[in-house]
Amino acid sequence: MPGPIILRRVGEDATVADFTRVAHVTQGHDPYWVAPISLELGPLAVGEGPRLNPKRNPWFQHGEAALWIAERDGKQAGRISAQIDHNHLKLYNDATGFFGFFECIDDQSVANALFDTAVAWLRQKGMKRVVGPFAFNINQDEAGLLIDGFNCPPRVAMGHAQPYYQKLVEAAGFSKAVDMRAYLTPMDTALPFKQLKWLKRSLARNPRIAVRPLDPKRYDEDFAAIMDIWRAGWVENWGAIPMTEAEGKYLADEVKLIVIPELISIATVDGKPAAMCVALPDFNEMIRDLKGKLLPFGWAKLVWRLLTRRSFLSGTRVILMGVTPEFKNKPMGSQLALLTVGAVREASLKLRMPVCEMSWVLETNTQTCHSIEDIGGRVYKTYRMYERAA
């Protein structure tokens, strides 16, 4: 007969290292799961460890979190976080807290113990509703629970799960809030030839519009402009929380290690940034075989792959697309969006990275869904956000 379930809180009788190891227990057998790595070199911080560190992650400037590990018979059996984002509460005033980082063996009693503990913590903080999973909030990596598309690895900054996780979450009283789609888009057929010719003619005829890649010499300035477009363009989306300047800088620093400038396109109108498309090479391709370990020789493999990423990698993920409100839902807005996507497409093909994931996209964002489907994208993974009363 199984022994009692013991919950240990990180910072009290468990460590962050213990917390990060749980996923190896629950998903390490899955050939499609990609073990995360934690890399900290001075100001450079990548991975789950730095994200959980209040001294590293600027989310903690406006958020608070508690993390637990479940054990049974001396073995790790699951983990969860509960968190409150005070910027979310200021914006929505809805007494909503979040859960995240959920991992669990296929045992409903363990899942219930994790959720009961997380929800009780949120209730004590005055929360009346719980939404998740989030890796802290909607702007951080790995939002949503994978419910469809288990037969291939996740792309950079996307999550993976076991098929039974959905059953565990729903049996704990959670129901669907909204689904988020990941589209797989073949870049060699992403834009029909007629559209490409029209785009190039439009660009040539309108001297107000210019399209350029990210400038490495102005990396911080360009990334700040990208984040400004994103904040302005996505403010009305479900659950949107404007990313702070510190969080935008953290994201820029985190991805700087893998960025290929040509895969980031910025469109300007009269010299002012008006649209952007940001694609990242798939970092998970670099680390998949490292099993989360940089020692003894994993670090050397990773350094070499980073240096040769233009030739080593085959896939990309578009993590950000957007048009400023001034041009949104207008003919020029559609033109600017297609121009930036078209520039990323051409760069992807030149780099021999022919397959792109565009994610995530809310199912309720029908305009973006239709735009991606019109250029050949198909839904190949679905992530679900859940909610329940506290």
CB 42 within 8 A of CB 234: no
d(CA 132, CA 66): 14
| Per-residue b or e along 195-213, where b marks 16 or more CB atoms closer than 10 Å to that residue's CB | eeeebeeebeeeeebebeb
The mean-pLDDT minimum among 98-107, 199-208, 290-299, 373-382 falls in: 199-208
Q: What is this structure's pTM? A: 0.93
Query: How are beta strands 129-132 and 96-104 bridged, if at all?
Result: parallel
CB 222 within 8 A of CB 277: no
**According to DSSP H, which parts of the chain are helical?**
16-27, 48-51, 86-92, 108-124, 165-171, 193-205, 219-233, 245-255, 283-287, 298-307, 309-312, 331-350, 366-374
Q: What is the mean pLDDT of the chain?
A: 90
Q: What is the mean pLDDT of residues 140-164?
A: 94
pLDDT digits (tens, 9 = 90+) for 306-315: 888 888 888 8
pLDDT tens digits along 364-385: 988 888 888 887 889 999 999 9
Element (H, E) at 213: strand 209-213
| Amino acid residing at 209 | I
Say which range, 13-22, 189-198, 219-228, 321-330, has the weakest mean pLDDT: 189-198
Measure Cα distances from 229 to 15, 265, 275, 325 in Å.
38, 12, 7, 9
Beta-strand relationship, 96-104 and 75-85: antiparallel
Q: CATH 3.40.630.30 occupies which residues in the chain?
A: 5-181, 185-382
pLDDT in tens, 239-250: 889 899 999 998
Q: Please answer whether residues 20 and 13 qualify as being in contact, where contact means their C-beta atoms are separated by less than 8 angstroms.
A: no
From residue 169, alpha-carbon distances to 108, 147, 173 in Å are 9, 11, 7
Angle between the N-to-C axes of helices 193-205 and 331-350, in degrees from 0 to 180, rounded to the nearest 10? 120
The span from the CA of 318 to the CA of 360, in Å, is 9
Give residue 15's pLDDT band: very low, low, confident or very high (50, 70, 90).
very high
pLDDT of residue 42: 60
Partners of 268 in the β-ladder: 210, 273
Q: Which two tokens stand for residue 274?
A: 């008006």
Q: What does the radius of gyration of the chain's CA atoms come to, in whole angstroms?
A: 21
- Residue 37 pLDDT grade (very low, low, confident, very high; cuts 50, 70, 90): confident
Cα–Cα separations (whole angstroms), residue 117 to 69, 311, 376: 11, 47, 44
* Residues 43-94: tens digit of each pLDDT: 666 678 888 999 889 999 999 999 999 999 999 999 999 999 999 999 999 9
Task: Domain 5-181: give its CATH code.
Answer: 3.40.630.30
d(CA 283, CA 389): 37
Given a cut of 90, whether residue 161 has pLDDT beyond it is yes
Residue 251 phi/psi, 5° resolution? -60, -45
The answer to whether residue 340 scores a pLDDT higher than 80 is yes
Tell me which fold the domain 185-382 belongs to. Answer: Aminopeptidase (3.40.630)
